[in-house]
Structure 1
Amino acid sequence: MNNVNSKWVSLVGRVLLGSLFVISGLGKLGNWEQTAAHMASQGLPLANLLLAGAAAAELAGGLSLLLGYRTPWGALMLAAFLVPVSLTMHAFWAHTGEARQMHLIHFMKNLSLIGGLLAQAVAGPGALSLDARRATLHSGTASRVPQHA
């Protein structure tokens, strides 16, 4: 893929991946009581504290991807966040029938997201990102710094 296409593909991929987490984080803030009650019903202790951490992780990581700012860190944080979420909230092995199928689908979706996030962490944000802009500014500044003998 040429550089013109790859920068746009990278941008679209980052935006699609990041928007999922931003929307989810905002949804948690907008439905706090219901979400905390659901988490507590799954046996999670300190549901309000865990919910605050989940919302913060999704918003910070999602915005990191959307903006292309500190992208590898945001992607790795979200991937790490999804591991315990998948194991606690989508424990398909603890269900039967339709509930088992629904949790299996969500579990596999999260595994796929983890794969995409790991790929994003390695690939980097691409040319249309704050990370790339920052690198350009730093390289321009470095060239104007006087050299000492």
Structure 2
Amino acid sequence: MFTQLQNPFTFVARLLLAALFLPAGIAKITGFAGTVGYIESVGLPMATLAALAAIALEVAGGIALIIGLGTRFAALALAFFTLVASFIFHAYWAVPADQVYVTQLLFFKNIAVAGGLMSLAAWGAGGWSLDARRA
């Protein structure tokens, strides 16, 4: 039974993961100044460049997941980005006690998302993808 569902499940997984990154990238475009300010607030250098890189990765990676093109590379890039961003922006161990719960929740949500992305990187986009058509 699960073999028959592999392609639809993988397709839905790609869409659900892309639903996190594509809107986030678009929101960074529409709120660019706020994005740069947020990056600056954690002390990262070259905040404008970092914002542009995040936008490019989230938008291009989200689209790649949706259409299933370069899926393994996109998933690995997004997984790395998500892990790095988690440690920088969701450092629950360094926030006041009243902020720990939500920050920790966001941190571990991102860890789980990275796991899902790594699974896509390992197994590929599935049969319902441009990657499969190209193979």
Q: Normalized against structure 2, the TM-score is what?
A: 0.94
Q: After the TM superposition, which residues 33-72 of structure 1 pair with which residues of structure 2 at under 5 Å, given as runs?
A: 33-72=33-72
- The SS at the match of 2:45 is coil
Q: After the TM superposition, which residues 1-149 of structure 1 pair with which residues of structure 2 at under 5 Å, given as runs?
A: 1-135=1-135
Letter aligned with residue 88 of structure 1: I
* CA displacement 1:49-105 (0-9 Å, x = unmatched): 100011111112111111110110000000111122111111111112231222111
Q: Give the Å deviation of 1:2.
A: 4.8
- In the aligned structure 2, how far is the partner of 1:101 from the partner of 1:3? 39
Q: Give the Å deviation of 1:132.
A: 0.8
Aligned identity (percent) is 38
- The SS at the match of 2:126 is coil
Q: Give the Å deviation of 1:5.
A: 2.2
Q: Normalized against structure 1, the TM-score is what?
A: 0.85
Letter aligned with residue 52 of structure 1: L
Q: Give the Å deviation of 1:4.
A: 3.8
- The SS at the match of 1:58 is helix
- In the aligned structure 1, how far is the partner of 2:28 from the partner of 2:84? 17
- In the aligned structure 1, how far is the partner of 2:44 from the partner of 2:124? 34
Structure 2: 5+ residue runs without aligned partners?
A: none
Q: Which has the larger radius of gyration?
A: 1
Structure 1: 5+ residue runs without aligned partners?
A: 136-149
Q: Give the Å deviation of 1:19.
A: 2.0
Letter aligned with residue 130 of structure 1: L
